[in-house]
C-alpha cells in the first residue's frame, strides 16, 4: 500500500535509546502508582503510552524526565540524550544534565502569565544563559514552526487554548531537543484543533528526527500518531500490552477514514479492554 514503509522499519532496527528496568513508584502517601515497568524506546521512534486515568502515565513520564525518583528500578539512557555524557541514570542530577536534550510538554500549557509569547518561549534559553542574539533567532524559528509568528507579543491570557498549547510546544522545541515527552498535551482541546496539532507533531517528529513519547488516553490519537502503543493498566500502574501500529508514515488526515486505521484502533481497544478486565 505504501511506497515507503522504510521509515517505520528503520526505527525497528534503530538501537534502543531508553531502557526502563523494573520501574516502580510508591508515593509518600502509600499510593502504588507504578510497579515493575519494563520497556525500551528506540531512537527516532514515536511511541504512545495509553491507559485509563490514574494508571500512572504522568508518573512514568516524570520518572523518565528525572522529575521524580523511582522507588525501585532504573531509567537508563543508552546514549547522551537523556543524562548527559555519562549516560547514567536519570535522577535529579540527570534532569539537570538533560537541559537542552530532553523536553517536556505538560498536560496544561504552564506558561508564565506575566510574560508574553516570545518571552515564554525564550525561557529555557534564558535559564541556560544563552546569549541574547542566538536565543532570539531560535525563538523566532520555534514560533514559526508552530505558526505563531504574529502572536509573539501577546500575553497568554489573550490566547485560545490551542494557541497556548502551541506556545508550550514551541517552548519545548526551542532548545532543539532530541527527545520529546508529551503528557496528554491535546486532551483539553477540541477535535478539530487536536487533529491539526497531531499533524503538526508528526511533521515536527519527521523533520527534526525526534524521539517522542506521547501520553494519551485516546485510542484514536495513539494509533494515528505512533508506531507502537504501550497499553497500561491501573492499580498498580503497569504496562500490560505492546501493540505495533504497522501503518506507514507519512500519515495524513485521510488515514482516519481508512479501514486499516479502524482495524488498528480495534486491536488497541481490545488490548485496552483486556487490560481493564
Partner 1 sequence: MKGPAEKGKPRGATAAAAAARLAPALLGIAFLAGWEILVRSAKIPVYVLPGPIVILETLWRDGPSLLASLLVTLRITLLALLLAAVAGGALAFLMAQSRLIERSLFPYAVILQVTPLVAIAPLIIIWVDNTFLSLLLCAWLVAFFPVVSNTTLGLKSADRTLVDLFRLYGASRWQVMLQLQLPTALPYFLGGLRISGGLALIGAVVAEFVAGTGGTAAGLAFRILEAGYRLEIPKLFAALLLLALAGIAIYAGLERLSWLLLRRWHESALPRER
Out of 126, 132, 203, 266, the only residue in the binding site for partner 1 (CB under 8 A) is: 126
Out of 123, 187, 204, 255, the only residue in the binding site for partner 1 (CB under 8 A) is: 123
Q: Which does 102 bind (CB under 5 to 8 A by kind): ligand ATP, Mg ion, partner 1, none?
A: partner 1
Out of 16, 36, 67, 140, the only residue in the binding site for partner 1 (CB under 8 A) is: 67
Angle between helices 117-127 and 132-145 (to 10 degrees): 130
Nearest distance from C-beta of residue 57 to Mg ion, angstroms: 5
Nearest distance from C-beta of residue 65 to partner 1, angstroms: 6
Nearest distance from C-beta of residue 166 to ligand ATP, angstroms: 21
Nearest distance from C-beta of residue 40 to ligand ATP, angstroms: 20
**Which own/partner contact pairs does 260-269 have at CB distance under 8 Å and 24+ positions apart?**
260/1, 261/223, 261/224, 264/223, 265/219, 265/220, 265/223, 267/243, 268/50, 268/219, 268/222, 268/223, 268/229, 268/231, 268/243, 269/219
What single DSSP character describes residue 78?
S
Contact between 55 and ligand ATP per CB under 6 A: yes
Can you tell me the distance from the alpha carbon of 98 to that of 101, in angstroms, rounded to the nearest whole number?
5
Q: Which does 95 bind (CB under 5 to 8 A by kind): partner 1, ligand ATP, Mg ion, none?
A: partner 1
Q: In the sheet where 228-233 sits, what is the strand order? A: 102-105, 179-183, 211-216, 46-50, 228-233, 238-244
Out of 124, 185, 227, 237, the only residue in the binding site for partner 1 (CB under 8 A) is: 124
Out of 27, 86, 112, 191, the only residue in the binding site for ligand ATP (CB under 6 A) is: 27
Out of 58, 98, 178, 211, the only residue in the binding site for ligand ATP (CB under 6 A) is: 58
CB 193 within 8 A of CB 136: no
Nearer to partner 1, 155 or 195 (CB): 155
81 three-class SS: helix
34 three-class SS: strand
Can you tell me the distance from the alpha carbon of 77 to that of 86, in angstroms, rounded to the nearest whole number?
9
CB 215 within 8 A of CB 58: yes
The residue nearest ligand ATP at its CB is 58
Contact between 58 and Mg ion per CB under 5 A: yes
What single DSSP character describes residue 118?
H
Query: And the C-alpha cell for 20?
Result: 526502563
Contact between 188 and partner 1 per CB under 8 A: no
Q: Which does 33 bind (CB under 5 to 8 A by kind): ligand ATP, partner 1, Mg ion, none?
A: ligand ATP
Interacting residue ranges for ligand ATP, rule: CB under 6 A: 27, 29, 31, 33, 51, 53-59, 217, 237
Interacting residue ranges for Mg ion, rule: CB under 5 A: 58
Amino acid at each position: 500500500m505504501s511506497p515507503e514503509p522504510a521509515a517505520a522499519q528503520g526505527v525497528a532496527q534503530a538501537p534502543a535509546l531508553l531502557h526502563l528496568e523494573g520501574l516502580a513508584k510508591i508515593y509518600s502517601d502509600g499510593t502504588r502508582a507504578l510497579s515493575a515497568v519494563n520497556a525500551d524506546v528506540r531512537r527516532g521512534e514515536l511511541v504512545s503510552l495509553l491507559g485509563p486515568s490514574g494508571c500512572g502515565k504522568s508518573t512514568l513520564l516524570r520518572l523518565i524526565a528525572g522529575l521524580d525518583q523511582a522507588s525501585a528500578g532504573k531509567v537508563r539512557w543508552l546514549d547522551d540524550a537523556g543524562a548527559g555524557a555519562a549516560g547514567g541514570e536519570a535522577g535529579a542530577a540527570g534532569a539537570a544534565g538533560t537541559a537542552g536534550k530532553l523536553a517536556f510538554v505538560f498536560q496544561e500549557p504552564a506558561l508564565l502569565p506575566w510574560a508574553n509569547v516570545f518571552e515564554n518561549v525564550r525561557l529555557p534559553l534564558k535559564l541556560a544563559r544563552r546569549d541574547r542574539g542566538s536565543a532570539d533567532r531560535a525563538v523566532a524559528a520555534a514560533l514559526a514552526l508552530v505558526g505563531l509568528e504574529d502572536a509573539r507579543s501577546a500575553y497568554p491570557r489573550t490566547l485560545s487554548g490551542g494557541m497556548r498549547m502551541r506556545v508550550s510546544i514551541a517552548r519545548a522545541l526551542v532548545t532543539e531537543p532530541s527527545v520529546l515527552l508529551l503528557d496528554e498535551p491535546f486532551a483539553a482541546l477540541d477535535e478539530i484543533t487536536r487533529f491539526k496539532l497531531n499533524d503538526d507533531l508528526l511533521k515536527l517528529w519527521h523533520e527534526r528526527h525526534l524521539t517522542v513519547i506521547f501520553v494519551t488516553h485516546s485510542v484514536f490519537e495513539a494509533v494515528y500518531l505512533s508506531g507502537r502503543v504501550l497499553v497500561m493498566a491501573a492499580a498498580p500502574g503497569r504496562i500490560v500490552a505492546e501493540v505495533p501500529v504497522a501503518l506507514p508514515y507519512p500519515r495524513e488526515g485521510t488515514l482516519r477514514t481508512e479501514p486499516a486505521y479502524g482495524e488498528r484502533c480495534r486491536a488497541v481497544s481490545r488490548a485496552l479492554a483486556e487490560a481493564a478486565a
